[in-house]
């Protein structure tokens, strides 16, 4: 089964955007009368029958719609510094989306070797992965954010705020214990660049209420740690 | 810190093989007197001083050696069908190694689209990932094995034997519960190809004592499921 996407699922008659129409009619060779699934990426998913098979603007009619609740005990927001090799970061985006990540923010850190990301490209990767795994909720993508600005934007205590780093200046809690015992609705996890967070960044994060966590004894690459965090959130 | 590898760590004087010697002297520009770490990939790791900086045969002298125990409550053996796109399978090899996988067997299944793997190439990926994460134990790589032959080779009940698949012919246990409650020394997890295991394969596995497990509600790609299994084993 494939999952198509369009912004407006309010009416019974639904228009698929050009790229979706092309994929549906030209690539998948669907015809009038075929049944497909369409989501708005915001929890709503409709089973639809194709009434007009047009590779630029396909028209479908919703036969049944449902609004899916988010899965998971909490909403997962991963804020990670993009890796120097963007393939590794994009691999994390795809995998963490398959594992249920709800929001992702690329961070600009003191030791960041990569200082630019292509929003449109990364959003496409998130959407493709979400569709591949038939998610009715697509992850939210945020623009590249300087580390300090991210801390300032998340000062409220309505989330479990965690920071993963390699240094030992602070006592670290176990990621597993923190995730297992939280009753908060959102978990935010900070993952640093290849060169790790700077000591100043770690101090600022701790001062802002982020709790240092350990991922165990394994020595992971930055993007592996980010996927590990998503896997842990999916599992616990 | 980098980790070098050589087969023989028995004596105090250690020879690095040509490729390791080249990397140490030509790439990392090490000189006589520099201190490096060398492992045999079998748990032994030595701190050594370079006594002869030769890019074909570097000689080092062990100043201190230790034998590391395997980390983790159990030994993890993942048997997975290589993906049609080998990059995805090789990505799993790298990530699962970073996460502590101890042994990996590529499976040849009824629905396998990929029927060949390059042993030398895949072993290099495992070794590189193990060194990257400073593992004193390198994962064991096995040749491509037909599904039925793998079952026959693992009939003993000395391991927790799990099979992950998408069908619903059998009641499934939770991966988390199975891993959390096992006291066995080894866990074997079977991961199918993109087209999943065939119903016959699942039945044969169950008859051979493999327990069907669910990875939760997420719909994952084959290689994502394999990495998720490694992450779960590392976490629980």
Task: Note the ipTM here.
Answer: 0.92
Residues in A whose CB is inside 8 Å of some CB of B read 71, 91, 95, 98-100, 132-134, 175-176, 216-221, 224, 227-228, 231-232, 234-236
* Strand partners of residue B15: B59
Contact B99 A218 (CB under 8 A): yes
Contact A221 B134 (CB under 8 A): no
Q: Look at residue A175 in the predicted model and tell me its pLDDT.
A: 97
Q: Report the percentage of chain B scoring pLDDT > 90.
A: 90
Closest to A235 in 3D by CA, of A180, A186, A183, A189: A180
Contact A231 B231 (CB under 8 A): yes
Closest to B164 in 3D by CA, of B132, B112, B206: B206
Mutation target vs A (from B224, B229, B236; most A CBs, 10 A cutoff):
B224
Q: Look at residue B157 in the predicted model and tell me its pLDDT.
A: 83
Contact A235 B234 (CB under 8 A): no
Q: What would the mean pLDDT of B123-145 be, rounded to a whole number? A: 95
End-to-end CA distance of chain A: 28
- CATH placement of domain B3-67: 2.40.240.20
Mutation target vs B (from A228, A229, A232, A233; most B CBs, 10 A cutoff):
A228
A7 close to A138: Cβ distance less than 8 angstroms: no
Mutation target vs A (from B99, B179, B233; most A CBs, 10 A cutoff):
B99
Report the gap between the CA of B230 and the closest CA in chain A (Å): 9
- CATH placement of domain A75-234: 3.40.1280.10
CB neighbourhood size of A167 (10 A): 13
pLDDT at A1 over 80: no
Q: Look at residue B156 in the predicted model and tell me its pLDDT.
A: 86
Closest to A126 in 3D by CA, of A144, A149, A107, A103: A103
Closest to A38 in 3D by CA, of A52, A54, A58, A122: A58
Nearest CA in chain B to A174: B235
Rounded Cα distance between A97 and A92, Å, is 8
pLDDT at A217 over 90: no
Nearest CA in chain B to A179: B235
Per-residue pLDDT of B185-223, as tens digits, reads 999 999 999 999 999 999 999 999 999 999 988 899 999
3-state SS of B76-124 is EEEEECCCCCHHHHHHHHHHHHHCCCCEEEEEECCCCCCCCCCHHHHHH
Per-residue pLDDT of A133-150, as tens digits, reads 999 999 999 999 999 999
Facing A133 at nearest CB: one of B100, B218, B232: B218
Q: Look at residue B71 in the predicted model and tell me its pLDDT.
A: 82
Q: Look at residue A70 in the predicted model and tell me its pLDDT.
A: 86
By CB atoms closer than 10 A (0-12, 13-18, 19+), residue A87 is exposed
Closest to A13 in 3D by CA, of A67, A59, A44: A59
* Strand partners of residue A5: A39
* Chain A residues near residue B176 by CB distance under 8 angstroms: 235-236
Report the gap between the CA of A153 and the closest CA in chain B (Å): 30
Q: Look at residue A157 in the predicted model and tell me its pLDDT.
A: 84
Q: Look at residue A4 in the predicted model and tell me its pLDDT.
A: 94
Q: Look at residue B14 in the predicted model and tell me its pLDDT.
A: 95
Report the gap between the CA of B52 and the closest CA in chain A (Å): 30
pLDDT category of residue A197 using cuts at 50, 70 and 90: very high
3-state secondary structure of B134: coil
Q: Look at residue B28 in the predicted model and tell me its pLDDT.
A: 93
Facing A232 at nearest CB: one of B134, B217, B231: B231
Q: What would the mean pLDDT of B166-181 be, rounded to a whole number? A: 94
**Phi, psi (degrees; rounded to nearest 5) at B195:** -85, 10
Token couple for A173: 């809690």
Facing A231 at nearest CB: one of B100, B219, B228: B228
Mean pLDDT of chain B: 95
Q: What would the mean pLDDT of A160-164 be, rounded to a whole number? A: 98
Token couple for A137: 């909720």
Domain residue spans of chain A? 3-67, 75-234
Token couple for B40: 């045999």
Q: Which residue has the higher pLDDT, A214 or A156?
A: A214
Q: What would the mean pLDDT of B10-29 be, rounded to a whole number? A: 93
* Chain A residues near residue B224 by CB distance under 8 angstroms: 95, 98-99
Nearest CA in chain B to A137: B218
Mutation target vs A (from B166, B218, B222, B233; most A CBs, 10 A cutoff):
B218
pLDDT at B1 over 80: no
* Chain B residues near residue A133 by CB distance under 8 angstroms: 218-221
Per-residue pLDDT of B41-90, as tens digits, reads 999 999 999 999 999 999 999 999 999 988 889 999 999 999 999 999 99
3-state secondary structure of B171: coil
Token couple for A43: 């929890």
Q: DSSP letter at A26?
A: I
Contact A220 B133 (CB under 8 A): yes
* Chain B residues near residue A87 by CB distance under 8 angstroms: none
3-state secondary structure of A97: helix
Q: What would the mean pLDDT of A76-99 be, rounded to a whole number? A: 97
Q: How far, CA to CA in Å, does B219 sit from each of A49, A210, B71?
A: 24, 31, 30
* Chain B residues near residue A219 by CB distance under 8 angstroms: 98, 132-134
Q: What would the mean pLDDT of A89-116 be, rounded to a whole number? A: 97
Q: Look at residue A2 in the predicted model and tell me its pLDDT.
A: 84
Nearest CA in chain A to B99: A218
By CB atoms closer than 10 A (0-12, 13-18, 19+), residue A175 is buried
Q: What would the mean pLDDT of A215-229 be, rounded to a whole number? A: 94
């Amino acid at each position: 089964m494939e999952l198509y996407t369009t912004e407006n699922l309010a009416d019974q008659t639904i228009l698929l955007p050009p790229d979706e129409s092309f994929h549906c009619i030209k690539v998948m060779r669907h015809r009038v009368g075929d049944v497909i699934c369409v989501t708005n990426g915001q929890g709503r998913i409709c089973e639809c029958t194709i009434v007009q098979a047009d590779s630029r603007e396909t028209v479908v009619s919703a036969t049944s719609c449902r609004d899916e609740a988010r899965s998971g005990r909490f909403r997962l927001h991963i804020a990670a510094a993009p890796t120097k090799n963007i393939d590794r970061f994009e691999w994390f985006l795809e995998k963490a989306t398959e594992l249920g990540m709800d929001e992702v923010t690329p961070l600009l850190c003191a030791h960041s070797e990569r200082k630019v990301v292509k929003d449109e490209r990364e959003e496409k990767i998130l959407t493709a992965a979400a569709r591949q795994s038939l998610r009715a909720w697509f992850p939210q993508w945020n623009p590249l954010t300087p580390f300090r600005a991210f801390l300032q934007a998340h000062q409220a205590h309505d989330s479990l705020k965690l920071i993963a780093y390699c240094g030992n200046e602070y006592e670290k809690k176990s990621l597993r214990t923190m995730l297992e015992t939280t009753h908060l609705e959102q978990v935010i996890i900070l993952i640093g660049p290849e060169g790790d967070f700077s000591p100043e960044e770690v101090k600022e994060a701790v001062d802002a209420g982020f709790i240092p966590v350990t991922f165990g004894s394994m020595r992971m690459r930055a993007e592996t740690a980010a996927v590990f965090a998503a896997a842990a959130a999916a599992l616990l």
